[in-house]
Amino acid sequence: MTPGNRGILQQRPVKHCAKEGHPTSAPEVWLPKESAAKERFMSRREVVYLLRSARSLCIDGRHLQWFIILGIYTGGRKAAMLATRISSEPVLNSGRLDPDGGLFIRRAAGQKATKKERNPCRMPRQLLGHVRRKARLGHRCFIQGNRGCQIGDIKKGWAGTIEAAQRIARQDGVERDLSDVTPHTLKHTACTWSMQRGADIHQAAAYFSASVETFTRTCAHHHPDF
């Protein structure tokens, strides 16, 4: 077999290769067991410490408070939230917060639907107030740097926020282990709080742009009527 033929064979699907007679049989392939859903969600006091921590950072890191606020109110995913614009008109390549219509349009203009449904939702009154104030100030993004630029990543800033939040908690005489809190924990926290307050599971799943099946499996047990 020549090196060129070897490269072609490696690119072919296993079953096709077996049909063509290259291997003697198709090997059995199976997926590992699905890992258990993460149960970690934050208490309201922990979120307060996280916000206090973000506001205590230097001016280049204070955009994290808006990331936390948007995550708690909308249960958004990190990349989508960082790209979210403030606009009353359709936007390419990102979702948008509409200060006039009061809607959070998760899907970019012309973007195809995927399994991550990205349904639109109506913004809560508190979030809408922040959005309209930012729109009056001329902000293009809900989460932006002190120079008005879009934030690409928050990895380092997030780690610093977690450390500072634990330090602030200790100053209040409270021990809090936030080392397992990730940006995705904001989404799980928002969903869990909605269940704890007795929200209808179908409405909550639609609001947080999740399937009812996923919402039931990960959050429904927190509902008082579960």
Model pLDDT for residues 178-214, shown as the tens digit of each residue: 999 999 999 999 999 999 999 999 999 999 988 899 8
Beta bridge partners of 104: 97, 121
pLDDT in the model for residue 7: 44
Q: Which of 20-34, 119-133, 153-167 has the lowest mean pLDDT?
A: 20-34
Average pLDDT over residues 127-152: 93
The whole-model pTM stands at 0.81
Question: Model confidence over 1-17: pLDDT tens digits?
Answer: 444 444 444 445 667 77
**Would the CA dihedral through 5, 6, 11, 17 be positive or negative?**
positive
Centroid of chain to Cα 79? 7
pLDDT score of 38 more than 80: no
pLDDT in the model for residue 50: 96
DSSP 150: B
pLDDT in the model for residue 9: 41
pLDDT confidence band for 69 (50 / 70 / 90): very high
DSSP assignment of 128-148 equals HHHHHHHHHTT-SBSSB-TTS
Average pLDDT over residues 169-178: 94
The full set of domain ranges for the chain reads 44-178
Average pLDDT over residues 126-143: 96
pLDDT in the model for residue 174: 92
CB within 8 Å of 129: residues ≥ 6 apart: none
